[in-house]
Amino acid sequence: MAKTLSRVLGKVLLLVLSLVVAAAWLIILRLKDVAVPVLVVYGLLLLGLVIGLIWPGVYGRRFGRTQVGKFIGVPAGLGTLGLYFAVVFYIADVPVLLGLAAAAALAAALVTGLRGRRGTAKPAASRSRRALVLGGVGVALGTLSGLSVGRVERHRQDQLTQAEKIRQEAIHAPGRRQRITDGAVRVFPLHTGDTVVTFGQFYGGFDGWDGVNGYLRTLLDKTLITVPVYAYLVDHPRHGLMMIDAGINWEQAHDHDGYYNHNAMVSRLLSDRDEYRMTSEQDLRVRVARLGYDVTDVTTVFLTHVHDDHAGGLRHLSQATVVMDRRDWEHGVVYPYSFDLVKDNLAFPRFDSGAFHAFPDSQDYFGDGSLILLPTPGHSPGHMCVLLHMDDGNALFMGDTLYTLPHFAVDQVRQMTIGGTDTVHQIDAARRIQELLTEAPNTVPMFAHDNTPYQLELVDSAFSHGRPDAAGFRRLRQHMNTVLTSDWRLRPGHTPHLAQAGRVEFR
């Protein structure tokens, strides 16, 4: 009785473990945008296979493990291979796949050979030949695996060489500017590409996109919109060339799987290969060079937070000191590869400069009041905003505390938040920023992902030469007043709605 119960419990445990692995695989496939009906059929095949193998005969006395393998296992296996090659496969997998196939063939050859020694003369001879064939196949596949390593690397280098050629052409195209050295503080918005996100993730914080539920909904809801990724170049007469965030890099957009394969396949499996888009003109190195600068002259990068759409460009800024909140470095980094070239150049502010407007803690980074760091945790453990004093006004770099100007109406429009105390902290930070902007009417917010006319038309225009005058700052604040009331509510005509073809309309 005890033996039977133990066997049943063992099978139940095996079933649970198999279902957990299968569920994780199905989630990965959904992240890769595999259609739900396909996943349902495929999931039922996997379930039927697991049950049939654990409990042979469950489908009838004549339908044992062999039949389960033939009629359910084969379709499930072919489906697994098809889905893998359709949505997960990357060229760097070729040597690994060939190596695994070689190992499987050699193992089969060994097992077949050992069995042949225990059989009759004729079956043993037949199995020996089969073992020899399998061994030969294994050796051939192993040789191909070794040869393919160099081939794959050459393919990648060819891609990089072609990308460098296109980049140089973009840098030297007509219209390149000369650096202006008149002693003024200048800020240049750099549109470094776009990211593709779900509408709910961007605007659905009041529609159930919060915490764990929000992340689960990103698996099922593929209503996508495209939003910009901005970084900012700062030319400061006293403190040199700086950046606020670093945007994304070319590899993230054009060799996504290769970029995230630098950490482990799990990073590649859990990210969407189409999440970033970038033209050659949007490459950080091109954008900076077209303005008359060189990325190698950047001395300091202020990173609002460590998420990869803000940190990818650090791969081009290895010489710079990267300033970020220590909490983000210790608890927020998801893809360390973006930081590999700067991890020895990190600086962590102590936020010991006292209160600044509504913020009880701040960091006067240079000690002269020119640049103030403000802790705004919530979107990430150590998110921070950056306030830069310019000649005729102030620029407040928001990071992802709020995505767009309409998000200032935090009681009407909200992005997806982490949930719990993190959401509380993020909304608290947003209200402190509201108070700061109310008290400092010559300060304008600068966003990382604003897809509204405020960023795409007014900010880009006002900062096209890096130095808005007082009237330019006033125009930006006047536009804010047309979108938001004095108590931070949206005025009619500025509420985001999803239109056809993934467009966002404000009405």
| 280 in the same domain as 213 | yes
DSSP 466: S
| 202 in the same domain as 87 | no
Residues ≥6 apart with Cβ < 8 Å to 386:
244, 302, 304, 371, 372, 373, 374, 396, 397, 399
**Residue 307 belongs to what domain range?**
184-506
What is the spatial distance between Cα 507 and Cα 491, in angstroms, rounded to a whole number?
9
| Residue 322: CATH number of its domain | 3.60.15.10
The pLDDT assigned to 116 comes to: 57
The pLDDT assigned to 117 comes to: 56
Domain limit, last residue, from 118, 147, 176:
147
What does residue 500 show for φ and ψ, rounded to 5 degrees?
-70, 155
| 319 in the same domain as 466 | yes
- Which residue, among 452, 456, 448, 458, has the nearest Cα to 402 in the 3D structure? 448
- Asked if 233 and 246 count as a contact pair (C-beta separation under 8 A), the reply is no
| 463 in the same domain as 346 | yes
3-class state of residue 77 by DSSP: helix
- Asked if 363 and 232 count as a contact pair (C-beta separation under 8 A), the reply is no
| 226 in the same domain as 365 | yes
The pLDDT assigned to 420 comes to: 94
Q: What residue type is 443 in one-letter code? A: T
Q: Is 428 left (phi over 0), alpha (psi -120 to 50) or beta?
A: alpha
Domain presence at residue 174: no
| 441 in the same domain as 340 | yes
- The partner residues of 444 in beta bridges, in order of sequence, read 395
Q: What is the mean pLDDT of each run of 10 residues along the chain (507 residues)?
A: 76 90 90 89 94 84 84 94 92 91 90 66 68 90 93 88 94 92 95 96 93 84 93 97 98 91 77 92 97 97 97 98 97 92 97 97 98 98 98 97 98 95 97 98 98 95 95 97 97 93 88
Domain limit, last residue, from 147, 175, 205:
147
Domain limit, last residue, from 120, 147, 174:
147
User: DSSP per residue over 6-62, as a string?
Assistant: HHHHHHHHHHHHHHHHHHHHHHHHHHTT--HHHHHHHHHHHHHHHHHHHSTTTT-TT
The pLDDT assigned to 56 comes to: 82
| 439 in the same domain as 306 | yes
Domain presence at residue 153: no
The pLDDT assigned to 469 comes to: 95
- pTM of the predicted model, to two decimals? 0.90
| 327 in the same domain as 193 | yes
Q: Are strands 321-323 and 346-347 parallel, antiparallel or unpaired?
A: parallel
- The partner residues of 242 in beta bridges, in order of sequence, read 234, 300
Number of domains present in the structure of the chain: 2
Domain presence at residue 163: no
Domain presence at residue 170: no
Domain presence at residue 166: no
Residues ≥6 apart with Cβ < 8 Å to 311:
245, 246, 303, 335, 338, 339
| 121 in the same domain as 237 | no
| 192 in the same domain as 122 | no
Q: Is 208 left (phi over 0), alpha (psi -120 to 50) or beta?
A: left
The pLDDT assigned to 287 comes to: 97
Provide the token pair at 421.
């105390």
The pLDDT assigned to 361 comes to: 98
Domain presence at residue 393: yes
The pLDDT assigned to 174 comes to: 93
The pLDDT assigned to 221 comes to: 83
The pLDDT assigned to 300 comes to: 98
What is the spatial distance between Cα 308 and Cα 103, in angstroms, rounded to a whole number?
36
